[in-house]
């Protein structure tokens, strides 16, 4: 079942701020964190959908 998560512009801006901050701490860290977060969220959504009543 395909789905899309819609992010409000404010959420996108917050995410970009976090990516920028992490990249300032260590080059490439922001990208790494957003990729891992995306993987985790996809897993959680798939798990919830597979266990839906």
Q: Which domain holds residue 14?
A: 9-50
User: Quick check: is 1 in a domain?
Assistant: no
User: Quick check: is 26 in a domain?
Assistant: yes
User: Quick check: is 3 in a domain?
Assistant: no
Q: What is the pTM of this model?
A: 0.68
For residues 23 and 29, the answer to whether their CB atoms sit within 8 Å is yes
Query: Encoding tokens for residue 2?
Result: 């395909």
pLDDT tens-digit readout, 1-53: 566 778 899 999 999 999 999 999 999 999 999 899 888 888 888 888 788 65
pLDDT tens-digit readout, 27-41: 999 999 989 988 888
User: Quick check: is 41 in a domain?
Assistant: yes
For residues 29 and 22, the answer to whether their CB atoms sit within 8 Å is yes
* Total of domains in the chain: 1
User: Quick check: is 4 in a domain?
Assistant: no
């Amino acid at each position: 079942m395909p789905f899309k998560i819609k992010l409000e512009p404010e959420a996108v801006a917050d995410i970009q701020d976090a990516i920028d901050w992490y990249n300032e701490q260590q080059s490439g860290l922001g990208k790494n964190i957003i990729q891992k977060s995306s993987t985790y969220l996809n897993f959680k959504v798939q798990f919830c959908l597979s266990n839906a009543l």
